[in-house]
Amino acid sequence: MSEAVAETVAARFSELYGAEPHGVWAAPGRVNLIGEHTDYNDGFVMPFALPHTAVAAVSRREDGVLRLHSADVAGGVAELRLDDLSPESDKNWTAYPAGVVWALREAGHAVTGADIHLSSTVPSGAGLSSSAALEVVVALALNDLFSLGLRGWKLARLCQRAENVYVGAPVGIMDQTASACCEAGHALFLDTRDLSQKQIPFDLAAEGMRLLVVDTQVKHSHSEGEYGKRRAGCEKGAALLGVNALRDVPYDDLDAALSRLGDEEEVRRLVRHIVTENERVERVVSLLESGDDTRAIGPILVEGHASLRDDFRISCPELDLVVDTALASGAVGARMTGGGFGGSAIVLVEEPDVDAITKAVTEAFATAGFTTPRVFEAVPSAGARRLH
Ligand code: ADP
Ligand code: MG
Residue 271 in any domain: the answer is no
Cβ(71) – ligand 1 distance below 6 Å: no
Contacts of 242 (CB under 8 A, 6+ apart): none
Q: Which ligand is nearest to the CA of 338?
A: 1
- The residue-averaged pLDDT of 105-119 equals 98
Give the residue, out of 131, 159, 175, 217, with the most ligand 1 atoms within 8 A of its beta carbon, to mutate for a pocket test.
Answer: 131
pLDDT tens, 283-321?
999 999 998 889 999 999 999 999 999 999 999 999 999
Residue 140 in any domain: the answer is yes
Cβ(70) – ligand 1 distance below 6 Å: yes
H or E segment at 199?
A: strand 197-201
Residue 142 has pLDDT above 80, yes or no: yes
| φ/ψ of residue 267, rounded to 5 | -65, -40
pLDDT tens, 1-48?
688 999 999 999 999 999 999 999 999 999 999 999 999 999 999 999
Residue 328 in any domain: the answer is no
Between the CA of 125 and the centroid of ligand 1 the distance, in Å, is: 6
Residue 345 in any domain: the answer is no
**How far apart are alpha carbons 250 and 212 in whole angstroms?**
32
Mean pLDDT, the chain, whole residue set:
96
Domain that holds residue 35: 3-199+382-386
Residue 123 in any domain: the answer is yes
Residue 234 has pLDDT above 90, yes or no: yes
pLDDT tens, 161-181?
999 999 999 889 999 999 999
**How far apart are alpha carbons 14 and 21 in whole angstroms?**
7
List Cβ<8 Å contacts ≥24 apart for 86-91: 87/165, 87/166, 87/168, 88/165, 88/166, 88/167, 88/168, 90/166
Between the CA of 217 and the centroid of ligand 1 the distance, in Å, is: 14
Q: Which ligand is nearest to the CA of 160?
A: 2
Give residue 1's pLDDT: 62
Residue 71 in any domain: the answer is yes
- The residue-averaged pLDDT of 65-81 equals 97
Residue 329 has pLDDT above 80, yes or no: yes
Specify whether the CB–CB gap between 41 and 174 falls below 8 A: no
Q: Residue 259, class by beta-carbon neighbours within 10 Å (0-12 exposed, 13-18 middle, 19+ buried)? A: exposed
Give residue 377's pLDDT: 96
Residue 255 in any domain: the answer is no
Residues forming the active site: 175
* The model's pTM: 0.95
Partnered with residue 212 across adjacent β-strands are 347, 377
Cβ(204) – ligand 1 distance below 6 Å: no
CA distances from 50 to 4, 9, 168, 228 (A): 18, 19, 25, 27
**Count of domains in the chain?**
1
Specify whether the CB–CB gap between 339 and 329 falls below 8 A: no
Residue 104 in any domain: the answer is yes
The CATH number of the domain where 170 resides is what?
Answer: 3.30.230.10
